[in-house]
Chain A
Amino acid sequence: MKKLFGPLAVLAAVLFAVAPFLIANAPYESTMLLIQKIFYFHVPSWIGMYCGLAVAAVASVWYLFKGSKAADRYAVSAAELIVVFGLNGLISGPLWARKAWGVWWQWDVKLTSALLLWLMFVAYLLVRKYGGPGSEKLAAAVAIFGAAVSPFVYVSVNIWRTMHPKTSVVPDIIKNPQGMAAPLLVSMAAFVVLFILLLNLRVALAERQDALDELYLALED
């Protein structure tokens, strides 16, 4: 993965440089006009978070059943990125909502379920930080349950309340391109590449931490 770092960094830089021009030239949405442009930042943030969720869940299962240290490093790195990308979405969302709906927050299904999912991974990080020895396994269980619960969160909150646009918005935009598809796809690609880049950086950091811990242990012996 280390060899990929350079090309990925360049690719991310290019995508992030191109995206603003595409977004600026994208047509205005008919009712929200300029406000809607935050969409190109908001949706990719959540895409990044869901990438993190997938990595964290798979890596946690792998760690729990195979005992692989490397999988644990991926899990903790992905969990941190979930919190970062989720925070991005949780900040850009209310900013958009304030202008589009007139309120900062709505107890709507996507907001609520995203918030809960985000909270679960904040809890994950708290467990890892304050859980003491052996907390890696506990954290893995949190990630697995977090992933398993997320569909239920979605379904239950969906019936409870709904206001956010349907999930079909994104596929619809890609199917009927009125000039919005290209900036959206580029923004999403930029965030996904950024996610992969940050994940690799964080995993490399975790590897060094683990190596350092082993060296300390060896020194004491």
Chain B
Amino acid sequence: MFVRTALLILRKDFAIEIKTLEIVMTTLFFAVACVLVFSFAFVREGQAPPDAAPAILWIAVAFSGTLALGRTFERERYAETLRALLLAPSPRPALYIGKLLGIVVLLALDELILVPLIAFLFGAPMFGRPLLLAAFLACGTVAFAAVGTLFAAMLMRSRTRDVLLPILLYPITVPVIICGVRGTAALLASPPDEPTATMWLAILFAMDVVFVTLALWTFEPLMSE
């Protein structure tokens, strides 16, 4: 029941999205624009400072993630569909997991474009340790989206949701950004510093566990009026 509900929510979001690709295209373009803006801000005499590539990657993920979160829940708010979902006799944490998976998939699509783009623009050896990099992106995205989904879902009721989401999200996800940036930077060093990277990855994974558990625990009382 739990898994089925979550997958049904994911399928529903996917079916809506595949028709227009609205969120995918807009967030993707936004992420690319972020990368370019930061490039213009950082690159001097044709050279980016060392460690700029991981920083820009994670900033782009965080910014476009915020946008995707806002848009996804705006869609649910528009026709009061989330209220309908909450009224359905299904376990509420499953709704959360379904929405969370949707956001993670969206951001994963973003990252599929962002990583090669940054590798291309900054000459960063992104593909030296592909599995570790993928693990970083997966853990970081889940941690960011776990907090983001919970807050975006709750902010739907608020009039000032557009501005409150980033205000709440960024201070809380700073450790995610630090772990992501430092870990990716360790991977991009030559030679790659694997012990440091795996240490950051472990912290990131611990955050995943804590955030998802906490969100599942609080989602039910938070969403009931």
Contact = CB atoms under 8 A, between A and B. Distances in A.
Contacts of A148: 210-211, 214
Interface in A142-160: 142, 144-146, 148-149, 152-153, 155-157, 159-160
Interface in A121-135: 123, 126-127, 130-135
A11 interface: no
Is chain B's interface secondary structure helix, strand, loop, or mixed overall? helix
B157 A132 contact: yes
A141 B222 contact: yes
A138 B152 CA distance: 10
Contacts of B225: 134
A64 B175 CA distance: 25
Nearest to B224: A137
Contact of A123 (B168, B206, B207, B210): B168
B171 A138 contact: no
B157 A133 contact: yes
A127 B151 CA distance: 11
A152 B203 CA distance: 8
A116 B171 contact: yes
Contacts of B211: 145, 148
A137 B156 CA distance: 13
Interface residues of A, number: 31
Interface residues of B, number: 32
B162 to A, nearest CB: 11
A156 B172 contact: no
Give the most central of B154, B155, B163, B222: most A CB within 10 Å. B154
Interface of B: 147, 150-151, 154-155, 157-160, 163-164, 167-168, 171-172, 174-175, 178-179, 182, 199-200, 203, 206-207, 210-211, 214, 218, 221-222, 225
Interface of A: 64-65, 116, 119-120, 123, 126-127, 130-135, 137-138, 140-142, 144-146, 148-149, 152-153, 155-157, 159-160
